[in-house]
Homo-oligomer: A and B are copies of this chain.
Amino acid sequence: MIFNGDCLDILATFESESVDMIYLDPPFFTQKTQKLSDKNGKIYKFKDTWSSRKEYLAFMKARILSMKKLLKPTGSLFLHCDTSASWHLKILLDEIFGETNFRSEIIWCYKRWSNSQNGLLPNHQTIFLYSKTKNFKFNTIYGDYSPTTNIDQILQERERDKFGKAVYKKNSNGEIVSGKAKKGVPLSDVWEIPFLNPKAKERTGYPTQKPVELLERIIKISTDKGDLVLDPFCGSGTTLVSAKLLGRKFVGIDISKDAVEMAQKRLITPFKTDSTLLRVGVDSYKTKTERELKILSQFECDIVQRNRGIDAFLKKHYLGLPVALKIQKENETILEAINLLQNAGEKKKCSFTVLIYSKNENSMFLADEISVPKNMILLPVLDENLNFELQKRSAVSPF
């Protein structure tokens, strides 16, 4: 839902404590008119000129106050500052939300072309994060350990000795005690996300457009699926596009009719540069299960409908002949699956076939006791039950 108008008026019509997260990227008292044009030469602009800072701060104060009212007790607000942070706004936020509800100063940094000669290249922007109360919703995202981290730290339990020194824990036999599984390193407040490339497909032509990647991260850490996201200065609608892509409800407001029109257009086919959405075939949704689609999407393949023995063919041939893929169904034994694939593969003149079998606890180590045809390759899918997560195989740079 997008509204055209001054957010002060429109926010007043909403129900209080109904919003989970607010992201705003307001004008920043630059005293300039921001202008940019799209591929067709249409010019988009907005005015950021004010009679005084006092006027500007009064404008912002009224609007932020009504935003706070709309937030649920668990809700949070992200205020995005262009280039050099607006310190006066920071103090305004402290006033409205209380200093104890200040959570983070997020630094968004990127590399960018510029010919600034005398001084440092300004390559970051600041986002202030406030929560309405102490009990705010937060989904930690975990990342990888640094390559310099000592792995024993992660594996071994530790304790304090009688001198209070932290030492590795040993059991009564003097053996090392393994620690619990660790989740990884929590996300830091410095985010390196590429600046929206001038050539990016995602780019609309609207000034100060933000990358979807940035908004996705903000939405992920602060909301769950189905939650409501509000952007009172939505511009070209990046926040709304990201919210839609992530299955959140969203409301946008902008005073510019052009902006609202553009955001509406973008929302028809929400698009993220390098979208995963495009990769998953639309037709295939009907006959394959979600699980099978997940598995098949890990391969470069063409999905086959209505064939009991074959689920897909690899796009590339081997020895001039196709390669068939099959996923062991939940109601098939591995022997049944092998036979089905073998017969179908012969019919289709495959040089090789690949069976993706479900490793469950009973059959886990039986694979090599089974006679497998010479031109069949078995790959395991360790699934949900096993907690191994071997199946989560993420893409790397293009091979």
Contact = CB atoms under 8 A, between A and B. Distances in A.
Interface string A301-336: 011110100100111111011110000000000000
B399 A124 contact: no
B104 A147 contact: no
Interface string A120-140: 111110000100000000101
B302 A120 contact: no
Contact of A102 (B84, B123, B374): B84
Contacts of A189: 120-124
Contacts of A87: 85, 87, 90-91, 94
Contact of A104 (B119, B148, B299): B119
A87 B395 CA distance: 40
A103 B119 CA distance: 7
A155 B348 contact: yes
A387 to B, nearest CB: 5
A277 B396 CA distance: 9
Q: How many copies of this chain does the complex contain?
A: 2
Nearest to A115: B186
A317 B154 contact: no
A318 B387 contact: yes
Interface string A176-193: 101011111111111000
Given A104-B120, A122-B188, 10 more contacts: A85-B87, A87-B94, A116-B186, A117-B186, A122-B189, A148-B277, A176-B349, A178-B320, A293-B396, A314-B389
Sort A-B residue pairs by CB-CB distance and give the 3 closest, nearest first: A298-B393, A394-B395, A147-B285
13 contacts: A103-B120, A109-B188, A111-B188, A116-B186, A124-B188, A124-B189, A144-B303, A151-B310, A176-B349, A276-B394, A279-B394, A280-B396, A297-B393
